[in-house]
Structure 1
Amino acid sequence: MRLPLILAACLAAAPAAAQEVKFSPDATLDCMEKQRLPGADDTCIGESARVCFQRMKNPSNSDIAACMGKESEYWKGRLDTAYGRMVELAKVADAEFEKTAKSKDIPFSLVEDLAIQQEKWGDWREIRCAVEAMMRRGTPYTMTAAASCTMKRMGEQALFMESAVTYMETK
Structure 2
Amino acid sequence: MKRSLILAAALALATPVAAQEVQFSPDATLECMEKQRLPGADDTCIGESARVCFQRIKNASNSDIAACMGKESEYWKGRLDAAFDRMMELAEVADAEFAENAKSKDIPFQLTTDLEEMREKWGNWREIRCAVEAMMRRGTPYTMTAAASCTMKRMGEEALFLESAITYMETK
TM-score scaled to structure 2, two decimals? Answer: 0.96
Aligned residue in 2 for 1:38: 39
Q: Note the alpha carbon deviations across 1:23-62, whole angstroms, 9 max, x for none.
A: 0000000000000000000000000000000000010000
Q: How does 1:1-171 map to 2 (within 5 A)?
A: 1=1, 2-3=3-4, 5-171=6-172
User: What is the CA–CA distance in structure 1 between the aligned matches of 2:61 and 2:153, rounded to whole Å?
Assistant: 20
SS of 2:125's equivalent?
helix
Aligned-pair CA distance for 1:13? 4.4
Amino acid at match of 1:114: L
User: What is the CA–CA distance in structure 2 between the aligned matches of 1:69 and 1:18, rounded to whole Å?
Assistant: 11
Amino acid at match of 1:139: T
Compared CA separation, residues 149 and 58, structure 1 to 2 (3 A): same
User: What is the CA–CA distance in structure 1 between the aligned matches of 2:127 and 2:19, rounded to whole Å?
Assistant: 27
Compared CA separation, residues 63 and 4, structure 1 to 2 (3 A): farther
SS of 2:149's equivalent?
helix
Aligned-pair CA distance for 1:155? 0.2
Q: Note the alpha carbon deviations across 1:124-161, whole angstroms, 9 max, x for none.
A: 00000000000000000000000000000000000000
Aligned-pair CA distance for 1:165? 0.6
When the two structures are aligned, how many residues end up with a matched partner?
Answer: 171
Amino acid at match of 1:104: K
Structure 2: gaps of 5 or more residues: none
SS of 2:113's equivalent?
helix
* Superposition CA RMSD, Å: 1.1
1:17–1:66 CA contact under 8 A, matched in 2: no
Compared CA separation, residues 82 and 4, structure 1 to 2 (3 A): farther
User: What is the CA–CA distance in structure 2 between the aligned matches of 1:73 and 1:16, rounded to whole Å?
Assistant: 21
Percent identity, aligned pairs only? 81
